[in-house]
Amino acid sequence: MISTGGEEQTSAYIRSAGTPNLVSRLSGALPTECVCYLPAFRRIIVAMFGLLVALTVLAVCLYFKWSCSYWTRVGNVAGPKPLPIFGNLLEQLTGQKHFGEIFEEMYRSFPQASWVGYYKFSNQPGVVVRDLELVREVLTSSFSSFNQNDFQIDETIDPLLACNPFVQTGDRWKERRNQMTSVFTMNRIRATFPLVQQVADDFVQFIQRTRRVDAHFEGKDICAKYTVNVVASIAFGIDAESFTNPDAEFVRMGNALFAPTWLTAIRSQLALFAPGVAKLLRVPFVPGYVDRWFRSMVNETIRQRKTTKRQDMFQAMYDNLSENGKVEVDINELTGHSVTFLSEGFETSSTMMSYLLFELAANPTIQERVAQEVREVLKESEGQLTEPGLHKLVYLEAAMMETLRMHTPVFTLPRICTKDFELPPQFPNDTKRVTLRKGTSVIIPVYAIHNDPEIYPKPYVFDPERFSEENRKSRPRHAFLGFGEGPRLCLAMDGDRLTQLPMARIRTVMKTSPDMGNINAEALFLMCRAAEMFIEHMAKGAYQKGSKTLEYKDLARFVESEDNLEFLQQILPNKITVKEYKAMMEKKPDTDDDTETEDEDESDAEQEEDDDDVEIVDVTAKEKAAPAADSEDSASDSGESNSVISIDSSSDEKENSKNVSNKKSPVKHKAGEN
């Protein structure tokens, strides 16, 4: 029992509490009976703290174990075994492997799968797509479900990079991309050809000067000098001085964005795989001094353009954003698009050029063929490379495409599922479908697809013939993703190279409406792709497995079976034979049966067997007037009967019966001839 004096001492201590050693002060203030319990009290506190730590660790471990079982829980999805916290990307974090190699291993480990389940950092589930049909679905057909890139940037930390369409989503993406595509029109690109040619001439002179000093040079370095000079000239009207000044600012700023340093690697890792950590640490992708330099450069360029205009990309962007000087330009937007000009045209182009030089040096026969093609084109234009001559360098273009296949600067196309999407069965004999939830990462493994021996035999052999016109058509469209695909494809790609249909013809068709105004280049391209996709959908849906030929009856049957193709039933009506038509008419009352003569009945009986293969096409009143020869050709082409009888579906049964009777003789005669 505690005495009153002890209580007074304890109260006095409590009033003066504030010294760090609470327990020791208490032990000095409390009587002997209480002090003896303090060691036990300490042990209880330590034990409770230890238990709390143990429970926390256990809860974290159980959480990560549970999160690592996501694909098992949703349906025993096949995929590589993950590690807690790091998922399947530990080797990427430690620098042992590039993420492109990691996804290639996943791609090769499940050769029969359409897609593979994997785990990102923090065990977030994701999907690696293998099947090219599913690749097409993600990038093009179901773009609305995958319209966001899995590369997240905080606009408050990276305001300049946030202007790049690559990192934008939804309406912001459409707005940013339209701003850029309005600049990359064919007329504006064509106008920059003399500027590029001037830089190319300077490039040749630079190589000649360099080789006088040393015959050896670093391919990536000289290619980077060339591409940064081209971007500076055609985008900003600036001489980057990369050929004359080793410490040129423009070159230093470009290298600061892409130079392979530890800082660049950390920024890229955080932006790709841990955007939440990047936001928490406020780590910008664009360094602060690069941000300030670009703003200063853009402000100076604007000041100069107020007195002197220049036909380049910067001027086009400035006029577009300012509505030709009517409104004030947002300096963040203009500077951000300037960074996009550099990022899109500098690093990827120089990387491709350096690898192309390497492959040509390693393959002298191919190098000689490329050089011979260039000589022939230059000879035709008296030693000057012109724009029409540039389009004649077919083999050089094939060599460039093969370089992009083997050494793609884009190892993956990362997407995010923006609304729930039902995946196809993972394996051919599987019927189980898994729903991909909103927010799930979807990886298109470009590097793995480009090196798949099933698509490209001997994938590690440099062979430009893979990209001949014939070989391109023999492969699925999405087997080459060097420029991306779908609405998010490379900004400056020539649309005619990406579509099978002639864009000029599609534009003419779209312009047939008198109310149609100007047609945006992106809208035209997407319309061409939509038309191609519709044709592909019709052909695949109508084609019968085991058949060698796609016939008229296949298309008509498919149109009839699909409710959403009802608008085509007037163009592709289903055909029936005369015998089938007669059977159909017999089921209905016919008031004119008594007026039929006995001779007509006998004639019908004689012709019944011959007419079994004759088809009747249900057509509209407009088609009723078409020549009989056209109908016969249509039937002949489809491999069905030799003649076709056209019947207006809007006529009554009496008129139908008379029409058939009046046409029986010609039909029998033509069938006999054939």
Domains of the chain as residue ranges with CATH: 180-362 (1.10.630.10), 500-568 (1.10.20.10)
> Is 60 exceeded by the pLDDT of residue 444?
yes
The CA distance from 240 to 233, in Å, is 8
The number of residues in the chain equals 674
The predicted structure's pLDDT at residue 640: 39
Query: How far is C-alpha 362 from the geometric centre of its chain's CA atoms?
Result: 32
Task: State how far the Cα of 64 lies from the Cα of 83, in Å rounded to an integer.
Answer: 9
Cα dist. 47→17, 41, 43, 56 in Å? 25, 10, 6, 14
Structure tokens at 378: 């230059």
Dist CA 551 CA 368 (whole Å) = 47
Instruction: Compute the average pLDDT of residues 455-481.
Output: 91
Query: For residue 500, what pLDDT band results from cuts at 50, 70 and 90?
Result: low
Write down the pTM of the prediction: 0.67
> Residues comprising the binding site for heme?
490
Bridge partners (DSSP) listed for residue 436? 421
| pLDDT value, residue 344 | 76
Residue 60 has pLDDT above 60, yes or no: yes
Q: How confident is the model at residue 255 (pLDDT cuts 50, 70, 90)?
A: confident
Q: Does residue 7 surpass a pLDDT of 80?
A: no
Give tens-digit pLDDT for 180-235.
777 777 677 777 888 888 899 899 999 988 888 888 888 888 898 999 899 888 88
| DSSP summary character for residue 232 | I
Residue 387's alpha-carbon distances to 172, 193, 313, 330, 373, in angstroms, are: 35, 7, 19, 35, 15
DSSP string, 388-414: HHHTT-HHHHHHHHHHHHHT-S---EE
What pLDDT was estimated at residue 24? 52
Q: Is the pLDDT of residue 667 over 60?
A: no
DSSP 456: S
| CB 127, CB 436: distance < 8 Å | yes
Q: How far apart are CA 558 and CA 549, in angstroms?
A: 15
Quick check: 429 pLDDT over 90?
A: no
Please give the annotated binding residues, written as ranges: 490
